[in-house]
Every structure is written in C-alpha cells, then in structure tokens.
Amino acid sequence: MINKKPPSAIAREALTRLNALKLAPTPANYQACYNEIACIPNVAGFPEAPLHQISLALTAKTPEQEKQLKHLDAAIGNRNWREVQEALVAFSGANHEGAPKDEGMAAAMSQRCMANLALAIEHMLPALGTDDEGFLAQVREFLDALRNPATDMPAIEAMLAKFSNRVLVAAEDQAEIKAMLLKLLHLIIENIGELSLDDQWLKGQVDSLLVAATPPLTLRRLDDVERRIRNVMSKQSEAKGRSMEAQEEMRLMLAAFVEQLAMMSESSGAFGDRLEESARQIEQVKTIEGMAPLLKGVIDTTRAMATETRGAHDRLRTLQEKVQTTEAEIGKLHQELDHASALARHDPLTDALNRKGLDEALTREIAGMQRKDTPLCVALLDIDNFKTINDRLGHDTGDAALVHLVKVARQCMRPVDSLARYGGEEFVILMPDTPLEQGIQTMTRLQRMLTKIFFLSGDEKLLITFSAGVAQMRPHESGAEAMKRADKAMYLAKRAGKNRVLGG
C-alpha cells in the first residue's frame, strides 16, 4: 500500500530514521528510507553521469564502432538499460571482428614495406662498390631476411643497424673519392692549360672543363658541357686535319721552290760555260765566214737561257701564290678554332655568358672603368617563384622561361652591356658608363617589358617577374665585392615583396 502522507512529511521522517539507524546521509541510504516509508519498491536510480563518462572513455577504431557509440549515447540519454546493453554488446562485437582485419592489414603493410626496403637496398648496392665480399654476403643475408615473412622484427632491426653503419662508411668514402678525383681532374686540366699557353683555341676548352668540374655537379650540367666539348673537339679534329694537309702542301712547295732555284743555278752555270767556250772559239776564228756559226750558237744558247728563265720565273710565281693561299687558309683555321673556343665561355641553354665568361667580362670592364674614369654598374637579378614554374609545368618550361627572359633582356640592353647567367635562375648584367640611378632605371624598364611581352607555355600566359639589386663599382673595389653588394640588395628586394629593384 502506498503511504498517503505528503512528500515533505515522508522526507522529514526519512531523515529521522537515518539518524536513528545511524546511517550515513548518502543519496542511496536516503532513497532507501524514503521508499520504505512511502511504501514503494526500492529501485536504484539510473546512473546517467557515470555511463556518459564510460561512453567518453571508449575509443572507436572502425566506422561500425563509431556508429555503436552514437547508439550508446542515445540510450543513455533515454535512460534505457536495454538499449545501453545492446549498444555495448554491439560495440564489443565490432571491436572483436575488426581486430583480426586490422592485424591482417598491418601484416600486409609490413611485408610491402620490407619488400620495398629490399628493393631500395638492391638499387643502392652499385654505389657501394663490389670490393668487399664479406659486406656483399651480409647484404644478401639481409635481403633474404627482408623477403622472408617468418623473420622476426628484432632480427631485422639488428641487420638494418649493421647495414646503416656500413652505408655511412661507404658514403663517406665515396664523398672523399669524388673530392679527390675532382682535385686530380683540376690538376690535369690546369697542367694541360699551362702546357698550351700559345693555343688560344685550347684555352677555351680548358676553362669550360674547369667550370664543369666545380661542385655542385649535376648530370644535366655535365651533359651540356660534354655536348659542347664534343662539338669543339670535332671542329678541332677537322681543322687539325686540314691544317696538316696545308702544312704538307707548303712543305712540298718549299721543296719545289728550292729545286727550281738549284736548276736555275745549274742552268746559269752551264750557260756561262758555253759562253766562255764560244769566246775562246771566237778568238781562234780568222775569217768572217768562220764566225757566223759561232754567233748563231751564242744566240741560240741565250734564247734557250731566256726561255728557261721565264719558265722558272712562272713556276716560282705559281708556288708563291700557292704559299699565300695556304697561309690564308691556315689563318682561317685558327680563327675557326678561336671561335669554337669562345663558345666554351657561353651558357649552352641561353647563350648568355657563363661564370667564366662573366669573370673575363668583369675584369675587362673594370679595367676600362679605371682607365677612362667612368661609372660601371653591376646588376644581379633573380626570377621570382621560379621553383613553382618548374614544379608545376616541368623543367623544360622552366628552361624556356630562362631563354625568354634573356631574349627580352637583350632588347633593353645596349651593345656595350654584357649579360651572363650567374646561377640557375640568376643573371648578371654589366652596364659600363652607367651611374647607379640609370642602372636601376634600366632594370625597372626590363621589368615593365616583361609585363608586356608574356611568356607562353602552351596556351597559358605566364608573367615572369624578378627581384634585382644594382651596385655601382667603387674606386679600388673588386668585382667580387660589387657582386656581394648587388646580391645583398637583391635579397632585400625579395624580402620587400619581390618584383622590385633596389640599389646597393
């Protein structure tokens, strides 16, 4: 039977009973006393807060578990024990079903990783050399372990540690070997240059090789230099063969010339002997009739001598003309070789001067500035966001952009100015007889022209901009010092927002 007392009276009586029974005034004890006095079943309340904490502590690893957690939260909110139980059972089942699948996926990924690691090691082996048989045996054992699914991870880690140490030593050895080979190559090239001081055509090739053998080395750079050097070598070989032929012709002509002189000398001696003989015979002649045959002989001898002399003269003149022709041809060959040598001072992509050509031009312009007491400006420009062009459109488009910049730059330059490729996307312009303000104006004019003459990549128009620093050479300042000031100004132009020209 339910107690008809008001709830307030039941509450006071429940507190009195707690005190009489000496029970702790907890919510559960108070609830039990209250239910007993009110004659209602003593059912425990729904623990909503603790269940929410449990729900928050659970972590879903699969989409199914995420779904069951949402059902659990809804059941707790509805204070429905049955739905809570169902959600917890479903969550546990999803966890049990997903575990083997996750473990299988992890195992498959681990095997693929091991296979890729083994493949990477095989690709790396040629760079490590084949001299150490013991190391090669260790590598083969390591590769077999990587490809064996039964190999445990601690064994793999131990082998990988040994292999890493060996790779580190090999990398250091390769770096030292590379540095030493470059040093030896420089010594050989410099020695060739020292032994060939008189051959200007060879000097260009030596300078190009020295530049190519300067770190950092790239296959693309070496390929360009190889192509240019082979071209020069081909021209050199052709010119050398023609030169040797011309020298052989000159030697034969000289021998013929000497032979003609000897024949003329011999003929002159024979003519003199005949004249002396005729003179003796004339002295012995007593009558006019006896003198006539002698005079006729002298006249015939003189005529023969004159005819022979004229023929020798003609032959000598022909030889002289051939000598002059041969000399002209040899001179032309040397000019061709000198021109081929000059090509080695230019960048193969843009046809601007390379670093060696820039050094020579800078030395020449500084000497002219000091001799004439006139200003000289050095401008260093760097294309903005050039890496983005390469990454998005490819290196071929990047190369075409460099060629486009050089083409537009030459439209702004005077014939006395010099343009050189200083680095990947860096260029230097030397402007003689130019003060600082005028040099800045020239670079700004180039920026404006680039906004009018777009670079086309297929159907896409690209706006090429650059940041530049301009420095005017100071008295007694070296070219390197002026370049450093221009580089600093260019860096500040980059920091200021790019597409700017600043003086240094």
Query: What per-residue confidence (pLDDT) applies to 334?
Result: 65
Q: Which of 5-19, 280-294, 320-334 has the lowest mean pLDDT?
A: 280-294
Cα torsion angle, 162, 164, 168, 171, sign: positive
- pLDDT band for 99, please (50, 70, 90 cuts): very low
DSSP run (H or E) holding 405: helix 395-412
Check whether 292 has a pLDDT greater than 90.
no
Check whether 31 has a pLDDT greater than 80.
no
More confident residue, 262 or 476: 476
Residue whose structure tokens are 């590379």:
178
Check whether 434 has a pLDDT greater than 80.
yes
Check whether 466 has a pLDDT greater than 80.
yes
> Mean pLDDT over all residues of the chain?
76
**Highest mean predicted confidence (pLDDT) among 101-110, 243-252, 361-370:** 361-370
Q: Domain coordinates of the chain in residue numbers?
A: 7-101, 253-342, 355-503
pLDDT tens sequence across 196-225: 544 555 666 666 666 666 665 655 556 656
pTM of the model: 0.39
pLDDT tens sequence across 111-159: 777 777 888 777 777 766 666 777 778 888 888 888 887 777 787 888 8
Q: Is 156 helix (H, G, I), strand (E, B) or coil?
A: helix
- pLDDT band for 468, please (50, 70, 90 cuts): very high
- pLDDT band for 407, please (50, 70, 90 cuts): very high
CATH superfamily of the domain spanning 355-503? Reverse transcriptase/Diguanylate cyclase domain (3.30.70.270)
**Burial (CB count <10 Å: 0-12, 13-18, 19+), residue 341:** buried
pLDDT tens sequence across 133-144: 777 788 888 888
Sequence length of the chain is 504
Q: With helix as H, strand as E and coil as C, how does 261-302 read? A: HHHHHHHHHHHHHHHHHHHHHHHHCCCHHHHHHHHHHHHHHH
222/213 Cα distance (integer angstroms): 8
CA neighbor of 406 nearest in space, from 385, 427, 390 = 427
Q: Strands 501-503 and 466-472: what pairing?
A: parallel
User: Residue 419: beta bridge partners?
Assistant: 429
Check whether 105 has a pLDDT greater than 70.
no
- pLDDT band for 109, please (50, 70, 90 cuts): low
CA neighbor of 467 nearest in space, from 438, 432, 439, 495 = 495
381/358 Cα distance (integer angstroms): 14
For the record, the structure tokens of 45 come out as 């309340």
Q: Is 63 helix (H, G, I), strand (E, B) or coil?
A: helix
The stretch 225-240 carries a mean pLDDT of 64
270/290 Cα distance (integer angstroms): 24
pLDDT tens sequence across 327-364: 677 667 666 665 555 556 788 888 899 888 899 899 99
